[in-house]
């Protein structure tokens, strides 16, 4: 029985695995490792909430935003006054235009690595205001490009409850990150060296089934090297992907599972495409593949 008070990341990354934490922890509960390495940490929900012992918990992502934020967040204490100052400097986000002006300002700080205390709070505000509250960057230029989700009937975007949630969430993260030996890094998965047999590897890459689905950040070379890694590693691993989607079978992954007799856990059989209407529900087989 899993009995953990999970800390949810304030960053909503597409495909984050928060809802699967009990399944993950059921596999590794009470196990001990020299280190845990989360090579595609995304929002960080998994690496932050593991029920296993390790000397180091390493969260890595090729995108610098989350690893850098998590390195900087524990250096400060956050107050409502800090947040109110930012609101006052930005017309309290009472118009659509104030969001886009703020987004341009945020991008300048992000692209010049100005991750100060204000930037941390500014990032939380940005991600609450953007469409679907999801992180999205221009793949070529690297700037944040999500649109504004709108004010609805409100005169300004942030309610008192929302402000409390942001500040409380940041201060909870401070305590949580300080409580374990977390290390946050920012490199391409292709640079990873699998030179130990006492690690737990967490592998949650972009899900690829066809060659036309590869983008500039995740290539066919990445996909093939991941399958090579799980085929040959002496470490424990937990790997996520689609085995089936849109009538297409992930043949390469299927062959590796059969050849190596890996454990297969079904975690999801439906996904939404487009704007979330019922006609956009697609049949999938999302799985965990593991040797744990």
Do 110 and 160 share a domain, yes or no?
yes
Write down which residue in 178, 199, 226 finishes a domain.
178
Q: Residue 235's domain is classified under what CATH number?
A: 3.40.50.150
According to the model, what pLDDT value does residue 274 have?
45
Residue 36 predicted with pLDDT over 70 = yes
The alpha carbon of residue 177 and the mean position of all alpha carbons in its chain are separated, in whole angstroms, by 16
Q: What is the pLDDT of residues 269-280, one digit of tens each?
A: 866 444 444 555
Mean pLDDT of 136-160: 91
According to the model, what pLDDT value does residue 209 have?
73
User: Residue 9 falls within a domain, yes or no?
Assistant: no
User: Residue 7 falls within a domain, yes or no?
Assistant: no
Strands 236-245 and 281-290: antiparallel
Do 34 and 75 share a domain, yes or no?
no
Do 141 and 206 share a domain, yes or no?
no
User: Residue 12 falls within a domain, yes or no?
Assistant: no
Q: What is the pLDDT of residues 224-268, one digit of tens each?
A: 999 999 999 999 999 999 999 888 899 999 999 999 999 999 998
> In terms of pLDDT, which residue wins out, 29 or 14?
29
User: Residue 57 falls within a domain, yes or no?
Assistant: yes
Residue 76 predicted with pLDDT over 90 = yes
In the chain, % of residues over pLDDT 70: 92
Do 129 and 214 share a domain, yes or no?
no
Please state which of the ranges 8-22, 70-84, 103-117, 236-250 shows the lowest mean pLDDT: 8-22
User: Residue 4 falls within a domain, yes or no?
Assistant: no
> In terms of pLDDT, which residue wins out, 80 or 274?
80
Please state the pTM of the whole predicted model: 0.90
Write down which residue in 178, 207, 237 finishes a domain.
178
Do 276 and 206 share a domain, yes or no?
yes
Mean pLDDT of the residues in the chain? 91
Residue 195 predicted with pLDDT over 50 = yes
User: Residue 164 falls within a domain, yes or no?
Assistant: yes
User: Residue 5 falls within a domain, yes or no?
Assistant: no
User: Residue 142 falls within a domain, yes or no?
Assistant: yes
Strands 32-38 and 199-203: parallel
Please state which of the ranges 116-120, 129-133, 182-186 shows the lowest mean pLDDT: 129-133
Range of the domain at 25: 18-62+187-290
Mean pLDDT of 103-131: 97
Do 154 and 131 share a domain, yes or no?
yes
Do 137 and 226 share a domain, yes or no?
no
Do 235 and 268 share a domain, yes or no?
yes
Residue 210 predicted with pLDDT over 80 = no
Residue 39 — pLDDT band, cuts 50, 70, 90?
very high
According to the model, what pLDDT value does residue 276 have?
46
> In terms of pLDDT, which residue wins out, 3 or 292?
292
Angstrom distance (rounded) from CA 100 to CA 3:
42
Do 126 and 29 share a domain, yes or no?
no
Number of domains, the chain: 2
Residue 24 — pLDDT band, cuts 50, 70, 90?
very high
Do 96 and 164 share a domain, yes or no?
yes
Residue 192 predicted with pLDDT over 50 = yes
Q: Residue 156's domain is classified under what CATH number?
A: 1.10.1020.10
Write down which residue in 153, 178, 203 finishes a domain.
178
Mean pLDDT of 83-99: 97
Do 197 and 156 share a domain, yes or no?
no
Do 165 and 196 share a domain, yes or no?
no
């Amino acid at each position: 029985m899993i009995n953990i008070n999970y800390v949810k990341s304030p960053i909503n990354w597409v495909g984050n695995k928060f809802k699967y934490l009990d399944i993950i922890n059921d596999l590794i509960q009470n196990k001990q490792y020299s280190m845990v390495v989360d090579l595609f940490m995304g929002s960080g929900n998994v690496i932050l909430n593991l029920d296993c012992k390790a000397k180091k918990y390493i969260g890595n992502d090729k995108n610098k935003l989350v690893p850098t934020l998590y390195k900087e967040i524990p250096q400060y204490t956050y107050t409502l006054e800090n947040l109110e100052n930012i609101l006052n400097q930005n017309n309290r986000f009472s118009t659509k235009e104030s969001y886009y002006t703020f987004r341009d300002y945020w991008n300048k700080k992000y692209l010049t690595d100005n991750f100060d205390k204000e930037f941390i709070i500014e990032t939380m505000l940005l991600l609450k205001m953007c469409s679907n509250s999801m992180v999205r960057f221009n793949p070529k230029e690297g700037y944040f490009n999500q649109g504004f989700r709108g004010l609805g009937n409100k005169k300004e975007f942030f309610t008192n409850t929302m402000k409390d949630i942001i500040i409380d969430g940041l201060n909870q993260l401070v305590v949580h990150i300080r409580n374990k030996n977390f290390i946050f890094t920012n490199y391409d998965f292709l640079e990873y060296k699998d030179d130990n047999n006492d690690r737990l590897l967490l592998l949650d890459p972009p899900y690829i089934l066809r060659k036309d689905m590869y983008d500039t950040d995740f290539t066919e070379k990445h996909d093939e090297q991941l399958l090579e890694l799980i085929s040959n590693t002496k470490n424990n691993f937990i790997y996520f992907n689609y085995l089936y989607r849109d009538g297409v079978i992930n043949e390469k992954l299927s062959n590796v599972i059969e050849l190596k007799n890996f454990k297969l856990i079904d975690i999801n059989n439906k996904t939404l495409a487009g704007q979330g209407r019922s006609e956009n529900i697609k049949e999938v087989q999302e799985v965990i593949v593991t040797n744990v």
